[in-house]
Amino acid sequence: MISAVASSSSSSSMLSPKKYDVFLSFRGEDTRRNFTSHLYEALKQKKVETYIDEHLEKGDEISPGLIKAIEDSHVSIVVFSKNYASSKWCLVELIKILDCKKDRGQIVIPVFYEIDPSDVRKQTGSYEQAFAKHEGEPSCNKWKTALTEAANLAGWDSRTYRTDPELLKDIVADVLQKLPPRYQNQRKGLVGIEEHCEHIESLLKIGPTEVRTLGIWGMGGIGKTALATTLYDKLSHEFEGSSFLSNVNEKSDKLENHCFGNSDMSTLRGKKALIVLDDVATSEHLEKLKVDYDFLEPGSRVIVTTRNREILGPNDEIYQVKELSSHHSVQLFCLTVFGEKQPKEGYEDLSERVLSYCKGIPLALKVMGASLRRKSKEAWESELRKLQKISSMEIHTVLKLSYDGLDHSQKDMFLDIACFFKGRERDWVTRVLDAFDFFAASGIEVLLDKALITISEGNHIEMHDLIQEMGWEIVRQECIKDPGRRSRLWRQEEVQNVLKYNRGTDVVEGIILSLRKLTEALRLSFDFLAKMTNLRFLQFYDGWDDYGSKVPVPTGFESLSDKLRYLHWEGFCLESLPLNFCAEQLVELYMPFSKLKKLWDGVQNLVNLKIIGLQGSKDLIEVPDLSKAEKLEIVNLSFCVSLLQLHVYSKSLQGLNAKNCSSLKEFSVTSEEITELNLADTAICELPPSIWQKKKLAFLVLNGCKNLKFVGNEIVHLLSSKRLDLSQTNIERLPALPPSLKYLMAEGCTSLETNFTQHLVLHHMIQSRIPYLHKHPSNPGYYNNHECFFFPGDRITKACGFCTGDSSITIPYLPKSDLHGFIYCIIFSEGIYGKRSSVLSCSINQDGIQVGQDQKTIYIPDLFLDHVLFWYHDIRQFDRIREVCDHFSDLTISFEHKHLFRGVKITWGIKECGVFPVYARASGFKVVGSNSKETFECESITQISNNESQPRPRAIRVEAGVRGSNNENEEDRNNFLQQKRMRTSP
């Protein structure tokens, strides 16, 4: 974010680098042992580089060294004391100081110590006496003119102060303001500093409050120390005392229990102080340094720079220093290498490549800039090619400090992420690292605290490229010449070389290889993995079924490590795994698109196995005995088209995917923990009765099971089921639905009795609201955002209170009291819908003013007959519901189904729509009819189905939806209609 660079040349001498901040001019015999020495110490405490002549004045001429010191100072402080003018040395010194003011822009600050400024200006009093002795000197008039000029400058009069410390405090503050302070000098060498200083100052909230600690946190080389130094130089004058303790980590062995006792911080006791603790690595170090905080005055501030966020307390403010923007990166690099803010002509592309490598890290930009300064284009090219294989050791050394502070398992996790898992989803990485017994959850938090990794918005683990390269370099250093003797292999060409020539050793723990990047098949020996006896991670990926031949394992292959925890081998070309392979350590087995017919013979002790993925293995005919897989959670066998039967005996299984196992006829699963079951497009004729006893089964997918004609009444026992997909089956009738069901997809079920199903769904939606009304009153969108029921149907049930053969419907009058929401019923006409996601939106308007709206994303496949969709909308989601009084009038509800195709909005598909207003009462819910006076309860499904061919249900006595007696309700409605006629009559 920030970084220092050498200042560019300037024609202004005032901006040129100076050796000293302040030059002190004084009469030694008058003030050396008191006021001037105290002034020197006060300036030194504020880190103001001050020159003081330690020698007694001798002769009339000052030395060349003294002249150089005056010229090399930003500010001269002239202490005019009683006998100052008696020293020719002092007067010559004053002439030189005023020359530097005129020629070099030097700032001159006069201090009148126990003398009247008019005596200096007019040479009266002791100054008149001094010049009586100088009578006849050639420079006498110059000295008088100089004294007059200096005394006319704004300065400090000690006679106006009660004590010297008060005077010293104001002089030092004045110097810090008038200096081109080191803060300003350093700021000119920084890029992107001001906005960050302002932010941190707001976090510090400087004022008379408690002692506050602020952590400046970030990865190595990001600019933490530069930022802390800048803040120290800028703010230290606002405090009574200050101290900057640098490189705490390097000095940690020398730290005593009381840090204030072994440095100049002992002078800060009882003061409002600013303390900077730079590069603190551990909480132990920080605790040692913070022991004496209680002795600091309120308003003191402590700034800690660290790579480890974990050391900071819960009440400490934290400022994270991030990478430079591209704009500031260009500036910093170009200032370093070219001395200007833009690339030199002809070096634009080369500079861009360096910037791409450095990725906004100030340290890297400076190191690269310094190494390429005054180099030819050919040298730049050579250096960039070198960096592709070997990282800069100067950058590597700084970044590695954070890695060195990790414990053994954390280091392993970091290297695994750097070599294998960067960019992968956090939960997946955590699961895999846990398979290696690395305590991943806590370890990842440590890596985050040390700024070695970050988490993206999509919950993926990310790592700065330079930190990743640092990890790569650590592994490369394990054996520079022989990759086969390194713990991890990830570079494509090195992996190919080690496998092809059988150069692996027992040092190798992990291998990753993209099969898609192979230009030709690898020629391997049958024992090409035999020497890698400690291999725990193997991933041959990006290899769909047509890439399997690129790793043609020869017959006799019996060399798979028994220490494998994670095995991912796409397109495995043998019919089974090696006979002598022991899978006891295996946690995840992922071998999609393989030629496997079976995994192994017999029963393996799969005590650690959690996941099996064999999808797309078209030759698979047998699944092994999984009865000893006590931790098994997921099995994916989708598109295993040769599989005839599947019986999974596992007590822990949570998810089973057998989608498109088109030959599968027999199926069973014993686990009571199963939550997801996908049997889509299988040949099963019926489901085993035990399925309906799986109380945790939440998602059941049966679409495309064309041999399945009946789902038993036992389906209601699926107490946890939230999703049921029966699309493209031949089911004729559904029994009662599971109480928790929120999603029913029965697209293409041509045999399904649509009228009965509509009443079934309507009854289900009303009944499912009863517990919701009591348990989730504060979350009206919970059901609405997830609930959807879709199945064949070409007309809306006659039980619908309001319906129309259009995409919009108007309800003239509807009581608001006790109205809970609406059930929408929409008929989609048959047609080509493009098999894509689209948006179904609803707009509710009263008298032309929108009072509510809602929308849901839906997926509608191509339809070969009309379909109906049910959807619930809670009235509490209406934006302007409070503007509606006691009833709705001329309530228009409009629906629109649309999607974007090549930037064009396409609207289509709605053939008919209906609305069921739903009213709530203590005993349950009611649905209102088209006559506002009439409501009816949702009767049993059998009764409604039998009455479907009869006129609409007879009205039940009004008990919900409209308060008061029938006569009162009728009177209210008549009054409303009469007023409406009067408003609209000519």
Q: Are 620 and 642 in contact (CB under 8 A)?
A: yes
Q: Residue 975's CB: how many other CB atoms inside 10 A? A: 10
Residue 267: is it exposed, middle or buried by C-beta count within 10 angstroms (0-12/13-18/19+)? middle
SS3 895: strand
Residues 888, 873: Cα–Cα separation, whole Å: 16
Give the range among 248-257, 535-544, 799-808, 933-942 with minimum mean pLDDT: 933-942
Which residues lie across from 935 on neighbouring strands? Answer: 928, 956
Residue 93 annotated to the active site: yes
Would you tell me how many other CB atoms lie within 10 Å of the CB of residue 591? Answer: 23
3-state secondary structure of 846: strand
The CATH number, out of the four listed (1.10.10.10, 2.40.50.140, 1.10.287.610, 3.40.50.1370), of the domain defined by the range 395-478: 1.10.10.10
Cβ 756 vs Cβ 733: under 8 Å: yes
- Find, among 156, 44, 149, 50, the residue nearest to 97 by Cα: 149
Q: Higher-confidence residue: 517 or 937?
A: 517
Pick 783-937's CATH classification: 2.60.120.260, 1.20.58.220, 3.40.1390.10, 3.40.220.10. 2.60.120.260
Question: CATH 3.40.50.300 occupies which residues in the chain?
Answer: 193-251+264-320
Total residues belonging to the chain: 986
Q: How far is CA 932 from CA 694, 814, 967, 981, in A?
A: 44, 6, 13, 18
Query: CB-hemisphere CA count at 13 Å for 462?
Result: 9
Q: Are 728 and 707 in contact (CB under 8 A)?
A: no
User: Does 980 have pLDDT greater than 60?
Assistant: no
User: Band of the pLDDT at 938, cuts 50, 70, 90?
Assistant: very low
Do the beta carbons of residue 36 and residue 96 sit within 8 Å? Answer: no
- Active-site option among 93, 570, 747, 912: 93
More confident residue, 54 or 702: 702
Main-chain phi, psi angles of 439, to 5 degrees: 55, 60
Summarize the confidence of residues 662-669 as an average pLDDT. Answer: 93
Start-end of CATH 1.10.10.10 domains in the chain:
395-478
Radius of gyration of the CA atoms of the chain, in A: 41
3-state secondary structure 73-96: EEEEEEEECCCHHHCHHHHHHHHH
What band does 773 get if pLDDT is binned at 50, 70 and 90? low
Alpha helices for 489-593 (secondary structure H): 492-500
Cβ-contact 548, 571 below 8 angstroms: yes
Where, residue-wise, is CATH 2.60.120.260 in the chain? 783-937
Lowest mean pLDDT among 186-195, 369-378, 780-789: 780-789
What is the average pLDDT across 499-513? 95
| CATH code assigned to 20-178 | 3.40.50.10140
Q: Yes or no: say if 916 and 826 are a contact pair by the CB < 8 Å rule.
A: no
Enter the tokens of residue 832.
């080509």
Which of 185-194, 301-310, 480-489, 492-501 has the least mean pLDDT? 185-194
Decide: 558 and 580 in contact? Cβ < 8 Å: yes
Neighbours of 555 (CB within 10 A): 6
Contact residues for 645 (Cβ-Cβ < 8 A; gap 6+): 664, 665, 666, 667
Most confident of 201-205, 334-338, 655-659, 665-669: 655-659
Pair 560, 530: CB distance under 8 Å: no
Note the CATH architecture for domain 193-251+264-320. Answer: 3-Layer(aba) Sandwich (3.40)
Q: For the chain, give the mean pLDDT.
A: 82
User: Per the confidence metrics, is the pTM higher than 0.75?
Assistant: no
3-state secondary structure of 917: strand
How confident is the model at residue 983, as a pLDDT? 38
Let me know: does 248 contact 278? Beta carbons within 8 Å.
yes
For residue 395, the model assigns a pLDDT of 83
Q: What percentage of residues in the chain have a pLDDT greater than 90?
A: 35
- What are the distances in angstroms from CA 379 to CA 118, 336, 674? 67, 17, 63
Give the Å distances, CA to CA, from 687 to 562, 710, 723.
38, 9, 17
Split at pLDDT 50, 70, 90, the class of 255 is low
Q: What is the location of CATH 3.40.50.10140 in the chain?
A: 20-178
Going by pLDDT thresholds of 50, 70 and 90, the confidence category of residue 232 is confident
326-390: what fold? Answer: Helicase, Ruva Protein; domain 3 (1.10.8)
Give 809-821 pLDDT, tens digit per residue. 998 888 888 888 8
**Does residue 453 contact residue 417 with C-beta atoms inside 8 Å?**
yes
Task: Give the whole-angstrom CA distance, residue 132 versus residue 138.
Answer: 14
Identify how many contiguous H helices and E strands the chain contains and give both numbers: 26, 38
* pLDDT value at 658 more than 90: yes
Is residue 675 scored above 90 in pLDDT?
A: yes
Task: Decide: 336 and 373 in contact? Cβ < 8 Å.
Answer: yes
Sign of dihedral through CA atoms 940, 941, 943, 944?
positive
pLDDT tens readout for residues 599-646 = 998 888 999 999 999 999 999 999 999 988 999 999 999 999 999 999
Task: Give the integer Cα–Cα distance in Å for 322 and 2.
Answer: 9
All CATH 1.10.8 domain ranges in the chain, comma separated: 326-390
Residue-wise pLDDT for 702-753, tens only, equals 888 888 877 766 676 876 778 888 888 888 888 778 888 888 999 988 888 8
